[in-house]
A and B are shown apart, each in its own frame.
Chain A
Amino acid sequence: MSALTILWRRELALAWSGGGGPLLACGFFLCLTVLVPLAAGGDPAGLRPMAGGVAWLALALSSTLSLERLFERDLEDGALDLIALGPAPLELVVIAKAKAQWLAVGVPLAVTAPVAAITLGLPPEQAPLVALSALIGALGFALTGALGAALALGSKRGGLLIAVVVLPLFIPPVVFGAGALERAVNGLSPLPALAFLTAYVLFAAVVTPFAGAAAIRNAQG
């Protein structure tokens, strides 16, 4: 078993232990999608045009919930020092942790997303597109979220700081993801929006490892 696989499996175990982080994120996601219609007055016709956007906003907010766990606990208990002396460079460690975050939190959220979107009034036939776009977008959230978590390392009130750092960076995937759903509902091809969403993920995959590793090294000093 490679070192990164060992780290990745440990990250998944940590994500699922101590209160079931993914279930918490999915519960939060569903709560948001219930609250928004109530706050909007409960008129399904009025809610339907913005169902995709609300679903994506809820997805983005839910994705921030467990980001603090990603690096901060390892810094606090000294595990990050041990990890830094392992065979894999920190850049790959960041990728491995982001990938685990995607699998542990992003994928369950993507599975929940069609339910939430249909609840908000999106046509049921759009469910596969919702799941696919959420799957891609959640990977972007995990990557960008890992960068935010690394940048906030060692700061007091890190969880709040992570949210402030990453939410602006979540704007493009929210726009592209909601745009894909809107195009599909209006009979247009969602592919251009999905392509932009994928491009965002690829960009994050290039930037996050290097910037995240630099932030970790800075925090360790």
Chain B
Amino acid sequence: MIAVDALTLSRGERVLFRDLSLSLAAGEAVALTGANGAGKTSLLRAVAGFIRPDAGSIAFADADPAEARAKHIHWLGHLDGLKGGRRAREELEFQARWLGADATGIAAAVDVLALEPLLDLEVRQLSAGQRRRLAFARLIAVQRPIWLLDEPFAPLDARWRGALGLLMQAHIDKGGAILAAVHDPLPVASRAVDIGAGR
């Protein structure tokens, strides 16, 4: 699904890594590991098209990069894109519908992530874990095969870490792919790539 070839990324004057290559196939989850500042988030952002690499290429199967980013990628970064002053329902509706979800998909996401009691609250009233679940809902509401996740479990309690792990496994079982930057082990990962090792 994704082929990263000889990628070199830098932030300002600092080179994060050179000549990094990796591939991500359908039905596979890859954990990006490495120390803080190694470039895990930057690699994810480069795959999502937010950062232009210094060298190398990122190719998507069956789609040019622009089409892949518009139709095939889900992004869940440190920042969840939620507006604190708006109600959870409004934000979920916007995030999911912007990415192409319909009412059925949104209802399914609300059900799976037990969001109903939260929907009438303002986002600023939610805990970090509840915000993460709300942001995760768009991944359930609309099907996109490639999930790019940055520390997906960070603010979650044990129960919801387990639940999101099951949702990730279901995504992989359906032929999806996950590339996730993690510090803790990713339960669904078929392999790990140490970003710092290639420097």
Contact = CB atoms under 8 A, between A and B. Distances in A.
Contacts, number: 78
B94 A10 contact: yes
A80 B138 CA distance: 15
A3 B100 contact: yes
A221 B51 contact: yes
B83 A1 contact: no
B86 to A, nearest CB: 7
A14 B123 CA distance: 14
A107 B53 CA distance: 42
A73 B83 CA distance: 9
Given A78-B78, A78-B81, A17 B86 contact: yes
B176 to A, nearest CB: 16
Contact of A81 (B52, B75, B85, B86): B75
Contact of A84 (B50, B90, B94): B50
B94 A6 contact: yes
Given A86-B70, A220-B50, A221-B50, A13 B81 contact: no
B80 interface: yes
B162 interface: no
A121 B48 CA distance: 56
Interface in A76-95: 76-87, 89
B98 A83 contact: yes
A3 B77 contact: no
B137 interface: no
A21 to B, nearest CB: 12
B82 A77 contact: yes
Given A3-B100, A87-B100, A221-B50, A78 B77 contact: yes
A80 B99 CA distance: 13
Interface string B59-80: 0000000000111011101111
Contacts of A14: 83, 86
Given A77-B83, A221-B52, A85 B90 contact: no
B48 A82 contact: no
A83 B69 CA distance: 11
Nearest to B78: A78
Given A3-B100, A6-B97, A85 B85 contact: no
B98 A81 contact: no
Q: Which of A6, A74, A82, A86 has the most CB of B within 10 A?
A: A82
Given A86-B99, A221-B50, A81 B81 contact: yes
B130 interface: no
Contacts of A78: 77-81
Contacts of B71: 87
Interface string A142-175: 0000000000000000000000000000000000
A7 interface: yes
B98 A3 contact: yes
Interface string B27-51: 0000000000000000001001111
A104 to B, nearest CB: 15
B75 A85 contact: yes
B80 A13 contact: no
Contacts of B69: 84-85
Given A7-B98, A77-B80, A78-B78, A85 B73 contact: yes
Interface of A: 1, 3, 6-7, 10, 13-14, 17-18, 73-74, 76-87, 89, 217, 220-221
21 contacts: A3-B98, A6-B97, A77-B79, A77-B83, A78-B77, A80-B81, A81-B50, A81-B75, A81-B79, A82-B99, A84-B49, A85-B48, A85-B49, A85-B73, A85-B74, A86-B70, A86-B98, A87-B70, A87-B71, A220-B51, A221-B51
